[in-house]
Amino acid sequence: MNTLPDSDKVFAGSIPQIYDEYLVPLIFEPYAIDLAARVVARAPRRVLEVAAGTGVVTRHLAAGLPADASLVATDLNQPMLDRGAAVGTSRAVEWRQADALQLPFADAAFDAVVCQFGVMFFPDKARAFAEARRVLRPGGVFLFNVWDRIEDNEFAMTVTDELAKMYPGDPPRFMARIPHGYHAAAAIERDLALGGFQQRPDIHTVTARSRAASPDIPAIAYCQGTPLRSEIEARGTVTLEAATRAATQALANRFGSSAVDGKIQALVVSAAA
């Protein structure tokens, strides 16, 4: 089984609030709308969301699903769920801390399992996929998305490149290593097959735009609202504030000093049980 450093998996402290206020509107919202719409179109009665984070997809699912459909939102990190529950949803949602590699649900309990930008963090993806398959009823669907390569995600690439200049001997590579490190279709298909999904999945590339009122917003989002923060702070040679300022300047140099607009790209995967 592959393992991840704890710093790659922990979203705690001030990260959940910064994540929700900065990253969600910056990069997650358009894909949440897309993924929730794909789920709602299938008219499931029982939906499980894994790696729900602060609930951006959860909120769209809650708004789109019929009132009598059940929705359970889970995440490994309780602080992220606490933030999601505090923001709230338009209807009742069961928020529950759970490990995607060991789901606390019965076999065939759900019509759909959905995951937005979470599978990249699973230390054993085939095992997590097997758990998704186990809790799906026959004919159910596993819908998830993953970021495409970092070169197709301009803000993340710009921040990563700038930080590499600040730490030439030991560059922080969290963004390239984890969020943008699982995009090869062959690897996704292999892991789904190992997890028991016998049909070849549908994989679609979805391109969108990431926009912010100023370059400091994506700089704060990436440097302070993700586990990249832990990598910066662990190095200790440059303060988090200085790293954020440098990222802001790099983004301003490339995209302008006022409103910024960059390409983002992801893969959307649909696997039938």
Q: What is the pLDDT of residue 20?
A: 87
Q: What is the pLDDT of residue 184?
A: 98
Q: Is residue 236 part of a domain?
A: yes
Q: Is residue 164 part of a domain?
A: yes
Q: Is residue 1 part of a domain?
A: no
Domains contained in the chain, number: 1
Q: What is the pLDDT of residue 111?
A: 98
Q: Which parts of the chain have pLDDT scores under 70?
A: 1-14
Q: Is residue 22 part of a domain?
A: yes
Q: Is residue 135 part of a domain?
A: yes
Q: For the chain, first and last CA: distance in Å?
A: 23
Q: Is residue 180 part of a domain?
A: yes
Q: What is the pLDDT of residue 14?
A: 65
Q: Which strands sit side by side in the sheet containing 110-116, from one edge to the other?
A: 94-97, 70-75, 46-49, 110-116, 136-147, 260-272, 202-212
CB 178 within 8 A of CB 203: no
Instruction: Tell me which residue range forms the domain holding 218.
Output: 6-272
Amino acid sitting at position 78: Q
Q: What is the pLDDT of residue 114?
A: 98
Q: What is the pTM of this model?
A: 0.92
Q: Is residue 56 part of a domain?
A: yes
Which CATH number fits the domain that encloses residue 170?
Answer: 3.40.50.150
Q: What is the pLDDT of residue 270?
A: 98
Q: Is residue 144 part of a domain?
A: yes
CB 82 within 8 A of CB 52: no
Torsion of CA 155, 230, 3, 205, to 10 degrees: -10
